[in-house]
Amino acid sequence: MAATDTAYDADFRTGQIKVHAPADFDGMRAAGKLAAECLDMLTPHVVPGVVTDDLDRLAREFILDRRAIPACLGYRGYTRTLCISPNHIVCHGIPGERTLREGDIANIDVTVIVDGWHGDTSRMYGVGPVAPRAKRLIDVTYEAIARGIAAAQPGARTGDIGHAIQTYVESMRCSVVRDFCGHGLGKVFHDAPNILHFGQPGTGDLLRPGMFFTIEPMVNLGKYQVKLLSDGWTAVTRDKSLSAQCEHSIGITETGNEVFTASPTGQFKPPVISA
Ligand code: MF3
Ligand code: CO
Ligand code: CO
């Protein structure tokens, strides 16, 4: 979500972060699993020449066939199931007539609603073999989210997550996008807290068992600045450098965290081949 956004939710306005009951984890597990399965389903279809709207239709039908709801469809006027963000598109790319070409890298982001619970996840896909620097950017992004997830512990703070991501990404001479952040979710799509992917340790909201949120760092090969295109959704890097993202929905537990959107087939990310 945009870092400046406020969710339309009473709990958000009072600054409260929902602490969910143990039974609510079951709801998030089901939603997260279906979202991950949707991304798994798309993998063999992300090939040179595929039309992005055809990927969107595949995802919509997959979700509706399973009696779930595509959360983005109709969300604040958005008309698609997926966000597909190739190359220098940072996030919220709108599927349409565009085809993916060999060498492109693309993030695909899906959110499903199952029994009222939201599962929100995204991954990178390589369209055929990709340039080594594109492969490296994707590897940095996956390591960044892994470090962010590892920092999401009961008793830690949101700033610990951001700090873990930022220090790693910048040590790899890449940059972290500032204008979009992770978010609380559950029965609400975008809720408190905001999860910034940069920051100082020991700052921000205290993490407690039962809190649900996404971590979804956007990492650029160049500078971190982005701009919004005139469609009101598509965010691109200002310097036109490549951008990558990965997103998981997680819950804080007594002992650590649970990743709701892990792929049941063990695909942490689809294989990306370096040219
Ligand atoms: N799934 C995106 C997120 O990670 C939100 C997309 S909103 C949409 O929060 F309307 F653009 F689909
Ligand atoms: Co999200
Ligand atoms: Co998402």
Render pLDDT for 182-240 as a digit per residue (tens, 0 to 9): 999 999 999 999 999 999 999 999 999 999 999 999 999 999 999 999 999 999 999 99
CA angle 169, 81, 49 (to 5 degrees): 75
For ligand 2, the distance from its centroid to the CA atom of residue 216, given in whole angstroms, is 7
What per-residue confidence (pLDDT) applies to 9? 43
CA angle 181, 182, 183 (to 5 degrees): 120
**In this structure, what are the phi and psi dihedrals at residue 143, rounded to the nearest 5 degrees?**
-65, -35
**Nearest CA residue ID for atom 11, ligand 1:** 92
Name the one residue in this structure whose structure tokens are 């340039």: 131
What per-residue confidence (pLDDT) applies to 4? 63
Q: Kindly report whether the peptide bond that precedes residue 44 is cis, defined as omega within 30 degrees of 0.
A: no
Q: Is the CB of 56 under 6 A from ligand 1?
A: no
Pairing of strands 212-215, 235-237: unpaired
Q: What atom in ligand 1 is closest to the CA of residue 82?
A: 12
- Residue ranges of the chain with per-residue pLDDT less than 70: 3-15
What per-residue confidence (pLDDT) applies to 146? 97
Q: Is the CB of 232 under 6 A from ligand 1?
A: no
Distance from C-alpha of 144 to C-alpha of 165, rounded to nearest angstrom: 5
Q: What atom in ligand 1 is closest to the CA of residue 109?
A: 1
What is the per-residue DSSP string for 25-42? HHHHHHHHHHHHHHHHHH
Distance from C-alpha of 259 to C-alpha of 142, rounded to nearest angstrom: 14
**Beta bridge partner(s), residue 247:** 122
Q: Is the CB of 78 under 6 A from ligand 1?
A: yes
Report yes or no: 215 and 261 within 8 Å, Cβ to Cβ.
Answer: no
Dihedral of CA atoms 196, 201, 207, 211 in degrees, nearest 10, equals: 20
Q: How far is CA 268 from CA 39, 85, 139, 146, in A?
A: 11, 19, 11, 10
Q: What atom in ligand 1 is closest to the CA of residue 247?
A: 4
Q: Radius of gyration over alpha carbons of the chain, in Å? A: 17
**Nearest CA residue ID for atom 9, ligand 1:** 1
What per-residue confidence (pLDDT) applies to 1? 75
Distance from C-alpha of 160 to C-alpha of 148, rounded to nearest angstrom: 8
Report yes or no: 122 and 100 within 8 Å, Cβ to Cβ.
Answer: no
**Nearest CA residue ID for atom 3, ligand 1:** 1
Name the one residue in this structure whose structure tokens are 């991501």: 165
